[in-house]
Amino acid sequence: MYSHILVPISFDPDRDVSGPLKLAGLLATPEAKITLLHVVEQVPAYAISYMPVDYLDAARKALQAELDGLAKTLPNASGLLIDGHSGRAILDWAEDNSPDLIIIASHRPGMQDLLLGSTATQVVRHASCAVHVVR
């Protein structure tokens, strides 16, 4: 049983967040703190000029609302948005906040993942706490 669990959340259509959320509920102590973390990657400068002025603010509000809705399904859970590159930002947050478990979803690896590496792979290789990968 774990007392501080980090669950990185990806809203990509091919990612299913139900498995990691269910596992977090099963592995958490009754008073555990569960953080649902979504990393917002930077939009390239050349693309930002083609977006409506309030697009980024509206997107952040929508993402936070989704995280808050997911957090309501677990006791003592909260949703958090941070900026950065997903793998590095998750590891940096974990280093600063010391969770004792990270539960991360992974998709079936393809050739791109073998060449570039995935977020889950980066977290598994470099996290200083236990990592549970849900596929």
Asked if residues 102 and 131 have their Cβ atoms less than 8 Å apart, the reply is yes
Is residue 112 pLDDT above 60, yes or no? no
Per the confidence metrics, is the pTM higher than 0.75?
Answer: yes
Q: How far apart are CA 79 and CA 71, in angstroms?
A: 6
**Structural domains in the chain plus CATH codes:** 2-56+66-84+93-111+125-134 (3.40.50.620)
Q: How far apart are CA 61 and CA 56, in angstroms?
A: 9
Q: How far apart are CA 65 and CA 95, in angstroms?
A: 26
Digit-coded pLDDT (tens) for 96-105: 999 999 999 9
Q: For residue 125, what pLDDT band results from cuts at 50, 70 and 90?
A: very high
Alpha helices in the chain (DSSP H): 18-27, 45-48, 55-71, 86-97, 111-116, 119-126
Digit-coded pLDDT (tens) for 31-45: 999 999 999 998 888
Is residue 115 pLDDT above 50, yes or no? no
Asked if residues 134 and 104 have their Cβ atoms less than 8 Å apart, the reply is yes
Q: How far apart are CA 63 and CA 76, in angstroms?
A: 19
- Which pLDDT score is estimated for 47? 86
